[in-house]
Amino acid sequence: MRNLAVRVTADNQIEVRVGTESRTGETYYLGMDSGVSASDETVRPVEGCIRLLREWLRLLTELPDQQQVFLPFDFSDEYTRWLTVRRDGRDAHVVFGWSTIEGWAISPSNFDEHAHVLPEFTPDEPLHIQTFYLPQLLSNLRCSLMEIGHH
């Protein structure tokens, strides 16, 4: 079983499964990514999800030890949902949460301004911290990216 899996459902929702927890989110703003060039007028939710996961992969790969990163996945009108990952050596501590930042205010392919500092972040309750081997988490993310790309 994968410790991290991301997919786009038949209803065009993004589903993020981390260990024993799963959350779904809206893909509407993933399909309207403001970080995409003007020549690419329409971005489908699947393509937006691929761009998002590539950004996740970049940030997780570059994450220094003892640092934390925030990874958005649900871009709703009035809030966003996030994963936060704190690196501890070769381990990653992962928590689901949310923020009052509106989904339309963030570019899914470039959210650097919120990736390392997100003061509005609120962990889901009850707080459930899951710990995984970081190289395996990255491998599973790459698998999800490949699977989404084949749809």
Q: Could you list the residue range(s) of the whole structural domain that residue 30 is in? A: 4-149
Is 23 in contact with 4 (CB distance < 8 Å)? no
**Backbone phi and psi for residue 142, each to the nearest 5 degrees, phi listed first:** -60, -40
Mean pLDDT of the chain: 89
Chain centroid to Cα 13, Å, comes to 13
Instruction: Give pLDDT tens digits for 6-52.
Output: 999 988 899 999 999 999 998 877 766 555 554 454 557 888 889 89
Q: How many domains does one find in the chain?
A: 1
**How would residue 129 be classed by pLDDT, with cut points 50, 70 and 90?**
very high
Within 8 A by CB and 6+ apart from 5, the residues are: 15, 16, 17, 140, 143, 144
Q: What is the CATH number of the domain that holds 105?
A: 3.30.2450.20
The per-residue pLDDT for 42 is 52
